[in-house]
Amino acid sequence: MKEQKMKHEIKRRIDQYLEQTEKQMLDGIKRSVQIQSVKGEPSKEAPFGEGPRLALLDALKQADELGFKTENLDSRIGFAEYGAGEEMVAVLGHLDVVPAIGEWTHDPFCAEIYDGMLYGRGVLDDKGPVIGALYALAAVRHSGVDLKRRIRVIMGTDEESGSSCVAYYKERKQELPVAGFTPDACFPVIFCEKGCLVFEIGCELSKETLGRLQKFRGGTAPNVVMEEFEIHMLTEGGSCSMYKKGRSAHAAAPSLGINAGVAAAKELAQVRLAPEIDDMMRFIADYIGDETQGKGLGIDHTDEETGCVSVNLGILGIREGRAYLTLDIRYPNNADPEWIKKEVERKASSRNLEIQSIRHSPLMYLSKESALIKTLMNVYEQEMGAGAKPVAIGGGTYAKSFSNMAAFGPLFPGQKDCIHQPDEQAEVELLKKAVRMMAYAMAELAQAEEVNEWM
């Protein structure tokens, strides 16, 4: 009974602090969203471009203003820390964002609040949760809870392009957390993230084709459904021009979008432009098409617990005399990534295309009965009620960066998922609730007796 009263008092103090600093926190989130932290031209001072560097500097400054110890690891990744103890638990988030493409009704980098909704690129993925995590950490400090280990909020700047920032953190021999979570997905808690294979597939273009192909471009990133595609090519009888408009969506759920590259390929596969371009268009039309579960490629696989394969055509373009495309393929538990690689290579070869590179992010799976999942589920159920279950997702989060981490928030069940889409938005009241949940989870993880068996 005494322990329950103490937990209630800790929560009351956390809630009190977050209520008192609500405006300050929202202003801090706005400040971060207003920085256009899309990956850009690298330099010695800004390895991922000036935007991500400025976003990290701003977040560390906000942490400094809250009174935390901070560290900047060469403008790639940084952290804020509180507490004492030999062990450390972490909250891992990112400050880089995908491009703000598409038709927005609110300026993506203005961070307006309209009718209770905060609009802007990054308000959900992942600047809102990251800045919120700093205030959650301050609330834990304010609560006076007795912690057995330190809490670190780690902030990366290259998650959307491969998470090389976390690789750098590890290369620098930085301390690894004994447990933690990333607020980069949804509640109640993610027990499985599908594996992800990103293929770059292409072919060399002849001098004649290069001379006639004046425009051939579409897409912004492998993990975004291609929203626009454009081609302009001179032909013997004149020219071929085409522009296709689709609808963007995250590659974790490509069926929610309309792929402009696929739409174009289905038409272009019926005409003859140049052998290399014809092969690429037939590859897309024959083996990818409108369905998104890999049936055309012969890699469709479904796991009852963790879902099915998904395939997204992300980019079409020309680089260094080669035409290329990217495929983002997510696979569930019990699917063999080596089998997927072989099948994709076989299909590409049948259309005279070569695999130029493969980037692999392995599947992340934690037992639903593990102590880490149960602890985070308990935090969620105490606030939202029983009945929810841990979920599997197609999206990859920072949780894959560490072996003892799960994704926890910020989206609640039923909340509109507009991550990577135009008019990215967060309901202010739900964002505040997510920050409270993060604070409760930080306190639980940092005061637990043992974490050695949490996997």
Catalytic residue numbers read: 96, 159
Distance CA 264, CA 270 (A): 10
361-388 in b/e burial notation, b at 16+ Cβ within 10 A? Answer: bebbbbeeebbbbebbbebbeeeeeeee
Tokens for 28? Answer: 């801090």
157 CB-side CA count, 13 A: 32
Tokens for 142? Answer: 């304010």
Amino acid identity of residue 37, one-letter, is: S
Tokens for 60? Answer: 């560390």
Distance CA 90, CA 224 (A): 28
In 87-184, at which residue ranges do the beta strands (DSSP E only) sit?
A: 88-94, 113-114, 117-119, 150-156, 179-182
Task: Please state, in angstroms and as integers, the Cα–Cα distance from residue 347 to each residue in 76, 126, 353, 396, following that order.
Answer: 38, 36, 9, 26
Tokens for 112? Answer: 């307006």
- Tell me if 300 sits within 8 A of 293, measured CB to CB: yes
Distance CA 89, CA 438 (A): 13
49 CB-side CA count, 13 A: 15
Pairing of strands 195-204, 322-331: antiparallel
- Tell me if 41 sits within 8 A of 49, measured CB to CB: yes
- Residue 359 sits at the vertex; the CA angle it makes with 331 and 56, to the nearest 5 degrees, is 105
- Tell me if 361 sits within 8 A of 199, measured CB to CB: no
Torsion over CA: 386, 387, 388, 389 (sign): positive
Q: How large is the angle between the packed helices 371-384 and 428-447, nearest 10 degrees?
A: 140
Q: Determine the number of helices (DSSP H) and then strands (DSSP E) in the chain.
A: 11, 23
Phi, psi (deg, nearest 5) at residue 140 = -65, -45
Distance CA 55, CA 160 (A): 14
Distance CA 99, CA 111 (A): 15
Instruction: Select from 323, 54, 316, 294 the least CA-distant residue to 209.
Output: 323
